[in-house]
Amino acid sequence: MNTSLNPHRQPTVRSAANFRPAAVLSAACLARITIPDSVTSIGRYAFNSCVSLTSITFLGDAPKVADDCFEGATPTIYRKPEAKDWGETFGGRPVKLISEKP
């Protein structure tokens, strides 16, 4: 998993079937992140208190998500149009197509 943060590059989770809270808990300044299609679940408090997080881009189908994974964070979720199992919200956050990114 890529844990280094570079202000000039968007962090990307490189590999992890189950995205765990420790991956993001200390990243209060993280604004954007890309989650690969290999991630199949997002754990409890994964994005807890990531107040600067504005967008999460998922490259695959909707993973399973814990109800409280976005506690204290308000990102918009972006997905590919061909990805499956997405609704209008994900973990209580709005879901849009990648083409709708500002």
pTM listed for this prediction: 0.76
Across residues 21-38, what is the average pLDDT?
A: 71
Strand order in the sheet with 32-35: 32-35, 55-58, 76-79, 93-97, 89-90
Nearest to 73 by CA among 60, 90, 98: 90
Distance CA 29, CA 25 (A): 10
pLDDT on residue 36: 92
Q: Where are the domains of the chain?
A: 18-100
pLDDT on residue 44: 84
pLDDT band at 100, cuts 50/70/90?
very high
Distance CA 73, CA 100 (A): 20
